[in-house]
Structure 1
Amino acid sequence: MIRILIFLLVVFLLGLGFAWLADRPGDMVITLDGYQYRVTLMVAAVGVVAVVAAVMILWWLIKSIWNSPYTISRYFRVRQRDRGYQALSTGMIAAGAGDAALARKKNKEAAKLIRSDQEPLILLLDAQASLLEGDHDGARQKFEAMLDDPETRLLGLRGLYLEAERLGDSAAARHYAGRAIDLAPQLGWAADSTLEEKTARGDWDGAIKIIDAQKATRQIERDQANRKRAVLLTAKAQALFETGFAAAKTAALEANRLQPHFVPAAVAAAKALFRGDDTRKGAKILEAAWRANPHPDVADLYVHARHGDAVNDRLARAKRLQSIKQNHPESSLAVARAALDAGDFALARKEAESAIRMQPREGAWLLLADIEEADTGDVGKVRQLLGKAVRAPRDPAWVADGIESETWAPISPVTGHLDAFEWRIPVERLGRVIEDVPDETPVLAAPAPAVAEEPVEVAAPEPVAEPAPAVVQALPEPANDYKPASPVVEPKVAVTAELIEADHASEEPVGQAVVIAPPLPDDPGVDPDAPAKAPRRFGLF
């Protein structure tokens, strides 16, 4: 577009010049060898322009003839290169599709048309074809050859890293990732692998440098970088708390500044401040964390902030936490534990029952059992509460990749990923919880001969969730010499619909129908000489 505008501008200026000469007539006289040549200015201008144009055309012809060998060779070279790139493109597509034969064929064709030192993709296609053919040793050799060229060094390290991961050689994989991260800190795969390696060795400062490099290159967002940095600083504070308290305190405070609501960071910072007798600042940190995320670790550290406090003082601190986060099970449990230590069993029972109403889980029932044992010592009541605790949902815990831990850890013990632990309820086991268990084994005795005037009352079956089918077994007729002394009063039992239909369908009793159920431990069975009892209602399940 710019060239067209320039051409139009030149034509416009030439036209303007010729128009100016046409409006101003004049002659141009040239004296040469005694002769005078007179022409008008217009003719002279046209002649000059024609001469300049002729010179330019002549120069172009001479230059074209002079450069014709190079032009012809360049034409064939470009044509050959285009064919090579077409073969290379087809080969890369075939390698991506898994066509090893076509990838190898196009690789050989591209290698003939293009030199590998001019196009590194030929080396990559050759290595990919070897991988598709199953020649992993040859592929590794090609990746190692790429390390000699600075342009393909990262490509070779990536290939060797993937091969080491395939073979399960974590040490070699992390070695190649470390070399790659030294050359290019912006590589995500190398940074992640090196980060896992440094965190596994406890090199928290080295891991923090990697996070800072990823943040500087905009590889991760600012919030994500702050989160990972807080996790690493918390792990560093926990590791140096006994050996280097000053560095641990600095790391813990910085982690809490980056993530104020991160419970492990808040606990680490508060511990460091409490050790330095700065109880007020540590309590503020815990209160801020409790307000955002009530956690039992925060409550326990807050209540026991000062070791010399009396039990009533700890109870007052627990009530302070409850006022910050009201109507929450963790608040009620914190007050219940403090009240139990203080001997205020009424308040402890009240708060534990309140926590159960809000969230009936295992820890609340166990705490209520401890309160009952300390207050009344009623063994039966304690056992009842323990039984409810067994059937209640589990308490939240630190979980990472299906592994449950009592304490927080910076990395997963399974995959080694950073910040994998989260506070949640562990996965429950499959199964149906049975709330009520019968105290006795129900037995349906044989019906007496049809001499009783009152029919036996059959209770409707109680609604239960998916009851197991009752096993009905027909027993032979009793011996003729056996006669019951008196009519047996049958208990009211819950029977299945099939048994009722069979009873109504038959006019005469065919035999004794007995429901077989697993006997309770140490069950002596039914005493035939025992006196008849009042009718009772039993449940099959």
Structure 2
Amino acid sequence: MIRILVFALFVLALAAGFAWLADRPGELSIVWQGQRADMSLMVAATLVVSLIAAVMFCWWLVRVIWTSPHSIQRYFRARKRDRGYQALSTGLIAAGAGDAAGARKMLARTKGLISADQEPLIHLLEAQAAMIEGRYDDARKKFELMADDPETRELGLRGLYLEARRLGANEAARQYAERAAEKAPQLPWATEAALEYRSQAGDWDEALKLLGDGRSGSAEEKKVHARRKAVLLTARAAAKLDADPKGAREDAHQALKLDENFVPAGLIEAKAYLREDNLRKAASILERLWKATAHGEVAKLYVRARSGDSASDRLKRAEKLEAMRPNNAEALYAVAEAALEARDFTLARAKAEAAARLSPRESAFLLLADIEDAETGDQGRIRHWMNQALKAPRDPAWTADGITSPEWRAISPVTGRLDAFEWKTPVSPLEGPVEEGSIDTVDEAIRTLPPLAIESKPAERAEKVVEIAKAEAEKPVVVATVAEPAPVKDATSERTKAGEDDKEEEERPFYGLPDDPGVKEGAKRDATSGFRLF
């Protein structure tokens, strides 16, 4: 396009020059070797331009004839190179598709058309073909040669890294990743791999150094970088919490600046403040996190922030959480648990049932069983709530790659992936996901709660124990002075007495459990006498 524009401008300039000469006519006389030539100025200009054009054409013709052998050679070389690149492209496609025979055929054709020194991709095709055919040693040697070449260093290191991961040689894979990250820090796979290996080793300082500042990149990349930095800072804070609470608090605070709702960082900062006896700042951090996330771990730490508090003090703190987030399952559960410790069974039962309605889960029904055990001791009711807990979904926990952890971790112990743990309901690997319950299910469980057995009431059990103790105390003491011979027992009277005992046993009310298996085989009971549960 530029050449066409330049040619057009040249023609316009030439035309403008001839027009200018036409408007200003004149005569030109040339005397050479006694000869005189008279002509107009326009004719002279035309002759000059024609002479220049003829010289240029002759020069071009001589140049074409002189360079024609090289041009012909270059044409055939370019055609051969194009055929070689076509074969190389076809071979890479065949290798990617798993066609070992096609890749090997295209490799042989490519080597005949292109030199391996001129095109490094030939080494890649050869390594891929060897891997498809199962010749991993040959492929590894090719990758090593590529890693020694500055032009293909990154490609060779990645091939060696993947091969080491396939063989399970984690130390070799770590070295290849570290080398690639050092030579080419812009490679995402090298940075991520080296970051994971340094995190697995607990070398948080080097991991943060490798992560960098993350100023460049898109908005999404900056967001991912901030999240990773927050995770690494939190992990370093957790590692130094026991030995250096102040340093742990500063790292956790920096992590909260990057992600203000990151619960593990907030928990560590609050724990650090508590170890410094600064309850006010710890409570402020936990309250802010609670308002944003309503996390169960936040509620647990907030209620038990001070070890010297009484049960009533913990109940007040739990009720404060409920006031911040009303009608929340975690808040209701915290209040119910604190009320149970304070022996306020009415409040504990009401809050536990409300929590079960909002979020039917295992811990809610287990708490109801604990309340029943502490208040009434009725085994029937306790087993009823235990049965509901077995059928309910599991409690949320820190989960990563199918395993749960009692506390948050920075990396997965299974895959080594950074920031793998999430607070969610675990899934059973055998049964699959558990369907969430509903309010109707909880109401049905409450409606089918067995009635309270009389003998299970603590007050009546205590009165009965007192009566037995008084009766034992009022019995006269009999001192035997003479040993009399034992009377001869009448078999008839013995059978009569046994029959009366059986009859008396049949008439005695039965306070068994709702899930009692019944009378064992061989017991002497009449078929018409049924079991009375209550």
Show the counterpart of 1:363: 363
Is the 2:216–2:222 Cα contact (8 Å) retained in structure 1? no
Amino acid at match of 2:52: V
Compute the displacement of 1:217 (Å). Answer: 4.8
Give matches, 1:127-166, under 5 Å: 127-166=127-166
**Residues 391 and 49 of structure 1: is their aligned pair in 2 closer, same or farther, counting only changes over 3 Å?**
closer
Is the 1:256–1:265 Cα contact (8 Å) retained in structure 2? yes
Amino acid at match of 2:111: A
Tell me the secondary structure at the aligned position of residue 30 of structure 1.
strand
Amino acid at match of 1:386: M
After TM superposition, what 4+ stretches of structure 1 lie above 6 angstroms from structure 2?
A: 431-438
Amino acid at match of 1:25: P
Task: Indicate whether 1:520 and 2:517 are aligned.
Answer: yes
Show the counterpart of 1:84: 84
Is the 2:214–2:222 Cα contact (8 Å) retained in structure 1? no
**Residues 220 and 134 of structure 1: is their aligned pair in 2 closer, same or farther, counting only changes over 3 Å?**
farther
Give matches, 1:482-493, under 5 Å: none
Show the counterpart of 2:246: 246
- Please list every run of 5 or more consecutive structure 2 residues that lacks an aligned counterpart in the other structure: 435-440, 451-515
Compute the displacement of 1:253 (Å). Answer: 0.9
Is the 2:269–2:282 Cα contact (8 Å) retained in structure 1? yes
Task: Indicate whether 1:65 and 2:65 are aligned.
Answer: yes
Compute the displacement of 1:215 (Å). Answer: 6.5
Show the counterpart of 1:223: 223
Tell me the TM-score normalised to structure 1 length: 0.77
Amino acid at match of 2:164: A
Show the counterpart of 2:481: none
Which is worse superposed, 144-153 or 84-93? 84-93
Show the counterpart of 1:42: 42
Amino acid at match of 1:348: A
Compute the displacement of 1:379 (Å). Answer: 4.9
**Residues 56 and 392 of structure 1: is their aligned pair in 2 closer, same or farther, counting only changes over 3 Å?**
closer
Show the counterpart of 1:2: 2
Tell me the secondary structure at the aligned position of residue 243 of structure 2.
coil
Compute the displacement of 1:25 (Å). Answer: 2.4
Give matches, 1:109-508, under 5 Å: 109-212=109-212, 216-218=216-218, 221-428=221-428, 430=431
Show the counterpart of 1:530: 526
Amino acid at match of 2:173: A
Cα-to-partner distance string for 1:27-57 (whole Å, 9 max, x where unaligned):
1112233443211111111111111111111
Q: Equivalents in 1 of 2:47, 2:184: separation in Å?
A: 65
Q: Equivalents in 2 of 1:101, 1:42: separation in Å?
A: 75
Tell me the TM-score normalised to structure 2 length: 0.78
Is the 1:329–1:359 Cα contact (8 Å) retained in structure 2? yes
Show the counterpart of 1:486: none
Compute the displacement of 1:107 (Å). Answer: 1.6
Compute the displacement of 1:119 (Å). Answer: 0.9
Q: Equivalents in 1 of 2:2, 2:527: separation in Å?
A: 119
Amino acid at match of 2:121: L
Q: Equivalents in 2 of 1:383, 1:90: separation in Å?
A: 70
Compute the displacement of 1:124 (Å). Answer: 0.9
Q: Equivalents in 1 of 2:64, 2:77: separation in Å?
A: 18
- Please list every run of 5 or more consecutive structure 1 residues that lacks an aligned counterpart in the other structure: 439-518
Task: Indicate whether 1:93 and 2:89 are aligned.
Answer: no
Q: Equivalents in 2 of 1:44, 1:223: separation in Å?
A: 76
Q: Equivalents in 1 of 2:259, 2:367: separation in Å?
A: 32
Which is worse superposed, 144-153 or 275-284? 275-284
Q: Equivalents in 2 of 1:392, 1:134: separation in Å?
A: 50
Cα-to-partner distance string for 1:371-413 (whole Å, 9 max, x where unaligned):
3333444455444443443343322222212112222222112
Compute the displacement of 1:300 (Å). Answer: 1.9
Q: Equivalents in 2 of 1:309, 1:20: separation in Å?
A: 108
Q: Equivalents in 2 of 1:397, 1:246: separation in Å?
A: 28
Is the 1:185–1:213 Cα contact (8 Å) retained in structure 2? no
**Residues 76 and 342 of structure 1: is their aligned pair in 2 closer, same or farther, counting only changes over 3 Å?**
same
Q: Equivalents in 1 of 2:337, 2:129: separation in Å?
A: 67
**Residues 349 and 189 of structure 1: is their aligned pair in 2 closer, same or farther, counting only changes over 3 Å?**
same
Show the counterpart of 1:107: 107
Amino acid at match of 1:184: A
Compute the displacement of 1:82 (Å). Answer: 1.7
Compute the displacement of 1:337 (Å). Answer: 2.1
Q: Equivalents in 2 of 1:427, 1:521: separation in Å?
A: 37
Cα RMSD for the two superposed structures: 3.1
Tell me the secondary structure at the aligned position of residue 152 of structure 1.
helix
Tell me the secondary structure at the aligned position of residue 305 of structure 1.
coil
Compute the displacement of 1:437 (Å). Answer: 13
Tell me the secondary structure at the aligned position of residue 234 of structure 1.
helix
Tell me the secondary structure at the aligned position of residue 38 of structure 1.
strand
Compute the displacement of 1:522 (Å). Answer: 6.0
Amino acid at match of 1:524: E
Q: Equivalents in 2 of 1:199, 1:232: separation in Å?
A: 8
Compute the displacement of 1:120 (Å). Answer: 0.7
Q: Equivalents in 1 of 2:393, 2:8: separation in Å?
A: 86
Tell me the secondary structure at the aligned position of residue 319 of structure 1.
helix
**Residues 369 and 98 of structure 1: is their aligned pair in 2 closer, same or farther, counting only changes over 3 Å?**
closer
**Residues 320 and 47 of structure 1: is their aligned pair in 2 closer, same or farther, counting only changes over 3 Å?**
same
**Residues 406 and 38 of structure 1: is their aligned pair in 2 closer, same or farther, counting only changes over 3 Å?**
same
**Residues 28 and 126 of structure 1: is their aligned pair in 2 closer, same or farther, counting only changes over 3 Å?**
same
Is the 2:232–2:410 Cα contact (8 Å) retained in structure 1? yes
Compute the displacement of 1:184 (Å). Answer: 1.6
**Residues 95 and 532 of structure 1: is their aligned pair in 2 closer, same or farther, counting only changes over 3 Å?**
closer
Compute the displacement of 1:533 (Å). Answer: 5.1
Cα-to-partner distance string for 1:180-236 (whole Å, 9 max, x where unaligned):
111222222222222221111011222233433667455962222222222221111
